[in-house]
Amino acid sequence: MFTPGQFKRFDRTIWLASPTMHGEEIKYVREAYETNWMSTVGENINQVEALIAGKVGCKYAVALSAGTAALHLAIKLAGEKLYGKSDVGKGSLFGKHVACSDMTFDATVNPVVYEGGIPVFIDTEYDTWNMDPVALDKALELYPDIRLLVVAHLYGTPGKIGELRNVCDKHGVLIVEDAAESLGATYKGRQTGTFGDYSAISFNGNKIITGSAGGMFLTDSIEDADKVRKWSTQARENAPWYQHEELGFNYRMSNVIAGVVRGQIPYLDEHIAQKKTIYERYKEGLKDLPVSMNPFDRDSSEPNFWLSCLIIDREHMCKQVRGDSEYLYSPESGKSCPMEILDAIDSINAQGRPIWKPMHMQPIYRMNPFITREGNGRAKTNAYISGGALGQDGNPLDVGMDIFHRGLCLPSDNKMTVEEQKVIIDIIKACFD
Ligand SMILES: *Cc1c(COP(=O)(O)O)cnc(C)c1O
C-alpha cells in the first residue's frame, strides 16, 4: 500500500517517452532554411525516404505529415485494390467489414472509418499483447466478407505476424501493417514495416525516433508509392494547371520536419539499446513482485522496447473500477492495481500510462463487432464484467480487457537515469507493501 508523501518528488518530470535530440537535427533544419527549401519538397525529404527504405528493407518510402496519414492512404489504397475506385465522397471501404487490432491506439483503426469501413475488432493474445491469430481465424469465418486486416505491433513488440499472415492467406485477405510504434523491431530477422501489403510508421514526438511529427508509407511497389505520393499532394494530374480526377489530401511531410527525422535516423539503434536497458532494469528490479513485464517471443522477435509495461498477477490485484473518466480502488496490503501504481508514480513527478484501452470498450465503437477466440466477444465481455467468465484455458474470454485491467506503461524515457529508475522501482514495490 502506497502512502502519499513517502517519496520525494523529482525536480524534473520523468516522461513516459519524450524526444531525444542529438544536434544534427538542427543542422538539417537550418540547411532547409538557408537554402529556402521551406516547403514539402527538398533534400531532407529525399534523404529520409532513402534512409528509411534502406534501414527497414523495403523498396520505397513516402514521407507524410503523420503516421495516421500514412495509415489512411495505405487503407484507402487497399480499399481501391479490393473493391475498385470509389465515388468521390464515398470511402473506398464503404459499408465493408475490416478486421482490426482491438488493443491499440485509435489511430490504427480510425482511418478505416474515414474510408467508410466498419471495424471488426479482434481480441488480443497474452504472448505478445498483439492480435490473436486464433480470434482472427474465427472472425474471418464469422465474417466471410472481410478482405482486409489492419494490425499493429504494440509498444514496439512484434505480433505473431507470421501466423496472422497464414490466416490471411487462407482467406484471401490483404494486410495493412501499423508499425508506428515498432520501427527497428524485427520478427524472424526481418524488420516490422515489411510484413504488410502496405505498411506505415510514425515519427510522432513520443516514438522511438521523431520529427516532432511525421510518418511514412512503406511499400515494394513503385505504382503504390507513386499513387500515395500523388494523393498526399492534392492528387494533381500531369497538366499545366491544377487538374483533378480524384480526391486529394494535404498529407506530404514538410522538408523542415524531414530535417529533424534525418538527424534522428543515425540514432535509432542507440535509442533501441537504451530502451532495452530500461526494460531489463525494470525486469530485474521488479522480479520479486507479483508482476511481469510486457512479453515477447524470444525465439522469433527482437522488439525495439519503445515502452516498458507491467501486468499484475491476478491474485495480487486490489479492487479497482474505472468508468468513462473516473476511477476508484481500495488499497490493500500485498496487492495493488494499475491506478494505484500510476498515482504513486505521478506523485513523484514521473509519467506512466494505462494500457491502450481496447477499441471494443470505447464508446465510439460500442456497436462494432468484437471477436474473441471463442467467437462473438460482446456477450462474453458482459459475462466477464459481471462475474469473471473464464475460457477453457482458464483465462478471461476478453483478453484485451484483462490486460487493460491489470497492466500499465511505465516511465520509459531514454534520458531517465539509473537512480531515477530505481526510485520508480522502489515506489512500485511500496504499492505492494
Ligand atoms: C502513434 C501511433 C499512430 C499514429 O501516428 P501519428 O504519427 O501520431 O499520426 C498509429 N498507430 C499507433 C499504434 C501509434 O502508436
**pLDDT of amino acid 386:** 41
Q: In what order do the strands lie in the sheet with 118-122?
A: 60-64, 215-219, 198-202, 174-178, 148-152, 97-101, 118-122, 370-372, 375-376
pLDDT value at 89 more than 90:
no
**pLDDT of amino acid 391:** 65
C-alpha 46 to ligand 1 mean position (Å): 22
Q: In what order do the strands lie in the sheet with 186-187?
A: 190-191, 186-187, 301-302
Grid cell locating 116: 467508410
pLDDT value at 132 more than 70:
yes
pLDDT value at 5 more than 90:
no
User: Could you give the CA distance from residue 224 to residue 53 in angstroms, rounded to a whole number?
Assistant: 14
User: Could you give the CA distance from residue 48 to residue 26 in angstroms, rounded to a whole number?
Assistant: 15
Q: Residues 6 or more apart from 275 whose CB is under 8 A from it? A: 156, 208, 304, 305, 306, 308, 412, 414
At the second CATH level, the architecture of 268-431 is Alpha-Beta Complex (3.90)
**pLDDT of amino acid 352:** 98
**pLDDT of amino acid 380:** 56
**pLDDT of amino acid 382:** 52
pLDDT value at 383 more than 90:
no
User: Could you give the CA distance from residue 329 to residue 351 in angstroms, rounded to a whole number?
Assistant: 19
- Residue 217, ligand 1, Cβ within 6 A: no
| Secondary-structure class of domain 24-266 per CATH | alpha beta
Residue 350, amino acid: A
To the nearest whole number, what is the mean pLDDT of the chain?
95
- What is the number of the ligand 1 atom nearest to the C-alpha of 66? 7
Residue located nearest, by CA, to atom 11 of ligand 1: 108
Q: Grid coordinates 507479483 are at which residue?
A: 290
- Residue 68, ligand 1, Cβ within 6 A: yes
**pLDDT of amino acid 4:** 81
More confident residue, 227 or 396: 227
Grid cell locating 389: 467468465
**pLDDT of amino acid 414:** 96
| 160 in Cβ contact with 187 (< 8 Å) | no
Dmax over Cα atoms in the chain, in whole Å? Answer: 74
Confidence of residue 393 (pLDDT cuts 50, 70, 90): low
**Substitution candidate for ligand 1 out of 103, 104, 204 with most atoms within 8 A of CB:** 204
| 129 in Cβ contact with 123 (< 8 Å) | no
Rounded to the nearest 5 degrees, what angle is found at the Cα of 205, between the Cα atoms of 153 and 78?
Answer: 45
- Residue 180, ligand 1, Cβ within 6 A: yes
pLDDT value at 227 more than 80:
yes
**pLDDT of amino acid 159:** 98
pLDDT (mean) for 409-424: 98
Residue 3, amino acid: T
Delimit the domains of the chain by residue range: 24-266, 268-431
- What is the number of the ligand 1 atom nearest to the C-alpha of 203? 7
**pLDDT of amino acid 124:** 97
pLDDT (mean) for 298-313: 97
**pLDDT of amino acid 396:** 76
pLDDT value at 2 more than 90:
no
Grid cell locating 133: 491469430
Q: Residues 6 or more apart from 419 whose CB is under 8 A from it? A: none
- Residue 178, ligand 1, Cβ within 6 A: yes
pLDDT (mean) for 391-415: 89
More confident residue, 387 or 112: 112
pTM of the model: 0.96
DSSP state of 86: P
- Residue 108, ligand 1, Cβ within 6 A: yes
Q: Which residues of 207-335 form beta strands (DSSP E)?
A: 215-219, 291-293, 301-302, 309-312, 319-322, 327-330
- Residue 107, ligand 1, Cβ within 6 A: yes
pLDDT (mean) for 285-303: 97
User: Could you give the CA distance from residue 293 to residue 399 in angstroms, rounded to a whole number?
Assistant: 16
Residue located nearest, by CA, to atom 7 of ligand 1: 67
C-alpha 419 to ligand 1 mean position (Å): 31
- Residue 179, ligand 1, Cβ within 6 A: no
pLDDT value at 387 more than 50:
no
